[in-house]
């Protein structure tokens, strides 16, 4: 080609979608070739069967391969792949043809090139390209072929590099235009191929050609065969300066969509997709016809998911022809601008975002840092060493440091074996690895055994610049990030100036002479030991922090790390002192810019929790504030030695010496399950029947719990833990009671068996259309603790099921729960149906949107029985007890009924006293905006963008914990009302801290084990304000409305405001001549919550059920918060310079708002349907909308984004009939339906 291939390809792929060919194997099968075809004359006498060695046909039947190439080119392919998928010595060894591999690749390239030249000659304005296909081989470098030997590999990295280098040389000699490493199911194999390709280019004489890489997601879990996620795979191979990266094989187009989408978001280069023709059928064939596959690929193209498309297994020239026609004219994907930051990977990605905060590098898998680990390795106890590894992960390590620098060890053997074992441990191998050694050869050994993008610890200028450059280039070629120590030819830097000087020199060399991106450079400016008694050591900590600040200010994108334990080395054996020193030092170093550190994450005390005297002494040493700092620390250590540990343990276990009945009460009151089975069994053996254990000591204990809770001496979380103990105890007894029943029936079939006596039976349900049940579950637990039998029908419960179950179980009370506004109408309906059915059971009403006023005004008049609002769980027992006590029942019902008569009267009087502006007058008082002066930013994209499987760890720092404590009914008193001040409250502070700690543990488990999944979608649309409403448009032509967001305007007269708002006021009208936009979103963090609930329910653990739901809700709200911030700063970008902390964000100090349908700014829940329709929310995210407009999973949030500075949150408040009629006309709905959906804000009878 006359023009540089890379430039030519780039110019084409920026203008249109490039077409690559389809399957070779299925086309070869159509020729029905026999053994003789594969042998030809060249291999007539070969000693092994050759049929099936398709690559061999380039030598024995080149006409067949040429014709297949030509048919794809004529069908519209711009690029064809050489027939060399298995043309390596590794794969050809199966046929004993290793010796012809180079010849195979040369000839395959020439055959393909000849076809491309011939077809291109007929269309000179459309160049054709040949991709040298490099397959994965039949062996894996990351996976053991033996279940019994997880550390075994059937091939080495070096063997793969040699095989791939030979293949690469042959393909380049034959004249391929690009190299395509494809069908990557093991990323380490791919990295070996990329290493070999780079080596061939360096050795010459071949000019560089563009490199394409194509991964294979093996199933719908979204991972490669070797376990990596799509993003982790890309991060692992991105170092090779890829021209194009994509996915092929294993999946059909429909199944591949989410993973292609994920890749298109993170890849800064071009991307491609060539999927199978659907999934294989029962006979191994593929059924998706060309038209079906082309339709899928067109939708991919319209979403902007790729720059090149083709086919894999089961596709033919007809498929390629249809695909080429379908994507013709569709603009190609525009590669995104990916922020420059350090990206590492294990099985999963670790991206250093601003939200990531400090990264813990686990230090215990280092024989120089952990004597216990070293002893395990020296004794060849690798299983024990793996346990240390797992513990590091469980304790919060985000990167694992691996080091085998021990004189008695074969470090190469140990490094290889241990890394291979780690690869078989998904919980461990999901983390990136830090290969740590003072011997560079051992580092290389490590790099050859890790598929993810790791870190090398470390290199330095100690051996001179030439050695540094050589090692830097090799680390880059292996695809790792690098830690650089502050050493040079003169030795270790100790002063701030020397530390920075060496780091600056290293940075310049790596970026200019080694091709290292600065974001892959991590400096370790040497954390040295302080408090040694030597004066020259006293400034070491200060110097480190000073160097950190200079590095972050003057070396763009570089990161800073350090070995934290070095700091306190002089206090060996005094762990409490060392841990406090580490925590205090990190607190200040992180503020200075330190990004990560090698530290035992599980042993770091929280800075705020360090004893104040000890903290002062530590900081005296760190900042060299007093000359006797070391002596003062030593004195503190002596004075604070723990004494009397044996006595303490004796106190802790003293309750175990008491009679079993007292032990059971103690366990129930304190929520202790450790001994419950043994104690219940001991008690069972002392009584005549197992039921007596329940009705005796267990119920006695729960009665104490109920009394303490009622008196405010126990808090809700403690009560729920007590219920967990009770459930476990009862679960232990159930088999014995069932056996007793069976024996009773055998002895006397007509005999009645005494069941447990309950104080009454309460049926509870979340009403139809609603999926929220945390509050209901809490009430159920509290009632259960008070010996009430609770029948919980769950969520989305129809009226028919509620009434039928009430009759079936002969219940005493029915309790209804709901969170969303439409649930109020459903409760009214249930009440009226209970009346129609002639029921007289007390009806309890509860939930976030319910109120005493609503119960009195809307529900009680529909039902002649008692309808009573219950404020929260703490009131439920009192209400139920009054209703079921014959002595108090009627008086209590009469009292509530009279109270509700008064509430209704007050409500109606309030309505009559309210003054409403006529709608038109309210509209005339809308905010006056000079739109010409408003700076409106166009979003970075229009349409939708999916945020699939959003990392939960990115949400944690944005959690608003105040609603969490409200769930547990823990409320501090002024000045300790909110989080974190609640921990200081004298009444609830200790319990709030305990619950919070439990939440942190569960949150860590959820994140570490991916027990919940967060997914969301954001959309941006051209928009104009039209009166109270907002019109959305499909494109910038703004001619035909895509949808209308209907708004409601404030009408209730307000003496304090001259402005009456609707959210149509927040978007520029068409008459302004200003092009404006509106965003919308829907997110959920509740995928997986049902499985988590089931797990805890099977363990009889109500406390954890409620905790999991509460955390899912918090994560969903945090997801909305994080996405809104990303919208403001990135996706819409109208506040790119915003720098607000979480407290400021929760106080809405940012520009713009995110109101939600069903909430004060637009109380109409039916508007959610517009969001779901416009963004196709359910299809994109899986978040469903019930007929009553509840989102499922329940831990979901949706809403709108308004960006303009004058957009502020407001409450519509009550509205009058004229607005309801007008609103109904605009929505083209009956007034009666509108009144139903707007019930809570209707200001008239």
Concerning whether 823 is annotated as a catalytic residue, the answer is: yes
Q: What is the pLDDT of residue 418?
A: 96
Number of helices followed by number of strands (H, E) in the chain: 46, 33
Q: How confident is the model at residue 777 (pLDDT cuts 50, 70, 90)?
A: confident
176-180, 219-223, 558-562, range with the lowest pLDDT? 219-223
- Cα distances from 963 to residues 215, 257, 1000, 1015, 1157, in angstroms, run 43, 37, 15, 22, 20
Bigger pLDDT: 466 vs 854? 466
Asked which of 75-84, 280-289, 481-490, 744-753 is least confident by mean pLDDT, the reply is 744-753
Quickly tell me which residue has 């407009």 as its tokens. Answer: 1189
- Residue 1003 confidence (pLDDT): 95
Neighbouring residues of 1012: CB distance < 8 A, sequence distance ≥ 6: 952, 1006, 1085, 1086, 1087, 1088, 1089, 1092, 1111, 1112, 1115
Q: Contact 1129/1181 with Cβ under 8 angstroms?
A: no
- Which of 69, 272, 588, 772 is the catalytic position? 772
pLDDT at 645 over 50: no
Please answer whether residues 247 and 273 qualify as being in contact, where contact means their C-beta atoms are separated by less than 8 angstroms: yes
Q: CA–CA separation, 183 vs 3, rounded Å?
A: 29
User: Over the chain, what is the mean pLDDT?
Assistant: 89
Burial class (CB in 10 A: 0-12, 13-18, 19+), 675: middle
User: pLDDT, tens digit, for every residue of 8-28?
Assistant: 999 999 999 999 999 999 899
Note the pLDDT of residue 657. Answer: 84
Please tell me which residue in 142, 722, 823, 876 is annotated as part of the active site: 823
* Tens digit of each residue's pLDDT (9 = 90 or more) over 608-638: 778 899 999 999 999 999 988 888 887 887 7
Q: Kindly report, residue by residue over 72-109, the tens digit of the pLDDT.
A: 999 999 999 999 999 999 999 989 999 999 999 999 99
- Residue 120's pLDDT is 95
* Residue 924 appears among annotated catalytic residues: no
Distance, C-alpha 753 to centroid of its chain? 51
Residue 438: CB atoms within 10 A of its CB come to 12
d(CA 466, CA 835): 91
Give CA–CA dist 846/855, Å, rounded.
9
Q: Are strands 359-362 and 521-524 parallel, antiparallel or unpaired?
A: unpaired
pLDDT at 723: 74
C-alpha distances in Å from residue 513, one per residue of 697, 791, 1142: 77, 72, 42
Per the model's pLDDT, the better-predicted residue between 911 and 902 turns out to be 902
Angstrom distance (rounded) from CA 400 to CA 598:
9
DSSP notation for 389-406: HHHHHHTT-SEEEEE---
786 with 1206: CB under 8 angstroms?
Answer: no
Calculate mean pLDDT across residues 306-313: 96
Q: How many residues are recorded in the chain?
A: 1245
Q: How confident is the model at residue 651 (pLDDT cuts 50, 70, 90)?
A: very low
Mean pLDDT within 1057-1068: 90
pTM: 0.58
In whole angstroms, what is the distance from residue 1061 CA to residue 927 CA?
7
> Rounded mean pLDDT of 463-488?
97
**Among 4-18, 27-41, 567-581, whose mean pLDDT is lowest?**
567-581
Alpha helices in 30-156 (DSSP H): 35-39, 57-60, 62-74, 89-92, 101-122
Q: Is the pLDDT of residue 256 over 80?
A: yes
* Residue 772 annotated among the catalytic residues of the structure: yes
Lowest mean pLDDT among 85-89, 160-164, 568-572, 764-768: 568-572
């Amino acid at each position: 080609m006359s023009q540089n291939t890379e430039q030519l390809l780039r110019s084409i792929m920026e203008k249109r979608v490039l077409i690559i060919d389809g399957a070779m194997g299925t086309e070869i099968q159509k020729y029905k070739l026999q053994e003789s075809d594969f042998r030809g004359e060249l291999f007539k006498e070969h000693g092994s069967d050759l049929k099936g060695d398709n690559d061999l046909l380039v030598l024995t039947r080149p006409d067949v391969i040429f014709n297949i190439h030509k048919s794809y080119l004529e069908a519209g392919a711009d690029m064809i792949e050489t027939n060399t998928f298995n043309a390596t010595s590794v794969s050809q060894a199966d046929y004993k043809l290793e010796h012809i591999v180079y010849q195979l690749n040369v000839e395959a390239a020439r055959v393909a090139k000849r076809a491309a030249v011939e077809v291109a000659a007929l269309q000179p304005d459309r160049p054709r390209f040949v991709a040298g296909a490099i397959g994965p081989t039949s062996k894996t470098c990351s996976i053991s072929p033996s279940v019994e030997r997880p550390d075994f590999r059937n091939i080495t990295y070096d063997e793969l590099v040699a095989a791939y280098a030979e293949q690469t040389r042959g393909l380049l000699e034959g004249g391929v235009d690009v190299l395509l490493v494809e069908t990557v199911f093991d990323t380490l194999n791919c990295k070996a191929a990329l290493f070999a390709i780079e080596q061939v280019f360096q050795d010459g004489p071949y000019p560089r050609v563009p490199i394409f890489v194509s991964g294979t997601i093996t199933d719908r879990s979204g991972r490669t065969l070797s376990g990596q996620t799509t993003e982790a795979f890309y991060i692992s191979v991105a170092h090779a300066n890829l021209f194009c990266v994509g996915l092929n094989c294993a999946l059909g187009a429909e199944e591949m969509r989410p993973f292609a989408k994920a890749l298109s978001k993170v890849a800064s280069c071009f991307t491609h997709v060539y999927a199978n023709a659907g999934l294989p059928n029962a006979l191994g064939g593929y059924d998706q016809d060309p038209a079906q596959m082309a339709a899928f690929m067109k939708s991919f193209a319209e979403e902007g998911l790729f720059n090149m498309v083709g086919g894999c297994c089961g596709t033919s020239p007809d498929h390629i022809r249809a695909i080429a026609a379908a994507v013709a004219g569709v603009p190609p994907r525009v590669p995104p601008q990916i922020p420059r930051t350090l990206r590492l990977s294990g099985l999963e990605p670790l991206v250093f975002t601003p939200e990531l905060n400090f990264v813990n590098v686990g230090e215990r898998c280092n024989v120089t840092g952990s004597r216990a680990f070293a002893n395990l390795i020296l004794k060849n106890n690798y299983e024990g060493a793996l346990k240390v590894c797992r513990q590091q992960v469980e304790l919060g390590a985000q990167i694992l440091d691996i080091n085998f620098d021990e004189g008695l060890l074969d470090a190469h053997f140990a490094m290889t074996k241990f890394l291979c074992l780690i690869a078989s441990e998904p919980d461990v191998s999901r983390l990136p690895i830090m290969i740590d050694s003072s011997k560079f050869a051992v580092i290389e050994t490590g790099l050859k055994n890790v598929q993810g993008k790791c870190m090398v610890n470390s290199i330095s200028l100690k051996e001179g610049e030439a050695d540094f450059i050589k090692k830097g280039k090799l680390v880059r070629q292996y695809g790792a990030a690098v830690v650089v120590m502050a050493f040079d030819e003169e030795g270790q830097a100790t002063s701030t100036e020397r530390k920075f000087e060496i780091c600056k020199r290293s940075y310049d060399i790596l970026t200019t002479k080694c091709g290292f991106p600065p974001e892959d450079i991590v400096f370790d400016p040497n954390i040295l030991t302080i408090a040694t008694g030597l004066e020259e050591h006293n400034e070491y900590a200060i110097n480190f922090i000073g160097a950190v600040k200079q590095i972050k200010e003057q070396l763009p994108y570089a990161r800073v790390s350090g070995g934290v334990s070095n700091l306190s080395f002089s206090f060996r054996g005094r762990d409490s002192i060392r841990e406090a020193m580490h925590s205090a030092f990190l607190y200040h170093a992180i503020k200075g810019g330190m990004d990560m550190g090698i530290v035992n994450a599980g042993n770091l005390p929280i800075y705020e929790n360090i004893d104040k005297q000890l903290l002062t002494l530590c900081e005296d040493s760190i900042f060299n504030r007093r000359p006797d700092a070391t002596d003062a620390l030593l004195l503190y250590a002596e004075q604070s030695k723990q004494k009397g540990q044996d006595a303490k343990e004796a106190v802790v276990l003293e309750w175990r010496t008491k009679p079993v009945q007292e032990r059971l009460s103690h366990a129930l009151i304190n929520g202790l399950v450790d001994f419950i089975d043994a104690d219940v069994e001991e008690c069972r053996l002392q009584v005549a029947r197992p039921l007596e254990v329940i009705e005796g000591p267990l119920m006695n204990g729960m009665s104490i719990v109920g009394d303490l809770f009622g008196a405010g001496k126990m808090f809700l979380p403690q009560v729920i833990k007590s219920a967990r103990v009770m459930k476990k105890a009862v679960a232990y007894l159930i088999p014995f009671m069932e056996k007793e029943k069976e024996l009773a029936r055998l002895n006397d079939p007509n005999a009645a068996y005494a069941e447990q006596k309950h104080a009454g039976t309460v049926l509870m349900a979340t009403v139809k259309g609603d999926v929220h049940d945390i509050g209901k579950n809490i009430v159920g637990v509290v009632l259960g603790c008070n010996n009430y039998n609770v029948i919980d029908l769950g969520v989305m419960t129809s009226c028919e099921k509620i009434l039928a179950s009430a009759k079936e179980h002969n219940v005493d009370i029915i309790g209804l729960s709901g969170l969303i506004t439409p649930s109020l109408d459903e409760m009214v309906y249930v009440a009226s149906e209970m009346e129609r059915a002639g029921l007289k059971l007390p009806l309890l009403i509860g939930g976030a949107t319910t109120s005493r006023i609503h119960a009195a005004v809307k529900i009680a008049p529909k039902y002649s029985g008692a309808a009573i609002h219950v404020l929260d769980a703490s009131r439920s027992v009192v209400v139920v007890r009054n209703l079921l006590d014959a002595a108090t029942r009627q008086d209590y019902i009469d009292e509530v009924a009279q109270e509700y008569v008064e509430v209704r009267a007050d409500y109606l009087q309030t309505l009559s006293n309210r003054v409403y502006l006529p709608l038109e007058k309210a509209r005339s008082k809308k905010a006056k905006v000079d739109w010409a002066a408003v700076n409106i930013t166009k979003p970075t994209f229009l349409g939708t963008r999916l945020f699939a499987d959003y990392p939960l760890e990115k949400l944690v720092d944005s959690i608003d914990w105040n609603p969490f404590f409200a769930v547990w009914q823990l409320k501090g008193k002024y000045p300790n009302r909110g989080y974190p001040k609640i921990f200081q409250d004298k009444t609830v502070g200790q319990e709030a801290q305990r619950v919070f700690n439990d939440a942190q543990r569960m949150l860590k488990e959820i994140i570490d084990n991916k027990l919940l999944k967060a997914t969301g979608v954001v959309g941006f649309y051209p928009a104009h304000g039209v009166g109270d409403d907002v019109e959305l448009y499909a494109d910038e032509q703004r001619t035909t409305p895509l949808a209308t967001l209907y708004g409601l305007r404030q009408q209730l007269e307000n003496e304090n405001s001259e402005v009456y708002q609707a959210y149509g006021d927040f978007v520029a009208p068409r008459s302004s001549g200003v092009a404006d936009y509106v965003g919308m979103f829907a997110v959920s963090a509740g995928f997986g919550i049902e499985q988590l609930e089931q797990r805890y329910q099977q363990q009889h653990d109500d406390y954890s059920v409620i905790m999991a739901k509460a955390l899912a809700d918090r994560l969903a709200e945090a997801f909305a918060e994080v996405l809104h911030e990303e919208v403001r700063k990135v996706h819409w970008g109208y506040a790119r310079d915003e720098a607000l902390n979480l407290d400021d964000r929760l106080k809405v100090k940012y520009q713009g708002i995110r109101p939600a349908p069903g909430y004060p700014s637009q109380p109409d829940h039916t508007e959610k349907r517009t969001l779901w329709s416009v963004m196709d929310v359910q299809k994109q995210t899986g978040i469903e909308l019930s007929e009553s407009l509840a989102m499922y999973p329940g831990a979901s949030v949706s809403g709108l984004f308004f960006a303009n500075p004058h957009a502020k949150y407001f409450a519509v408040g009550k509205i009058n009939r004229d607005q309801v009629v007008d609103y109904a006309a605009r929505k083209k709905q009956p007034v009666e339906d509108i009144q139903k959906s707007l019930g809570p804000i209707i200001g008239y009878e």
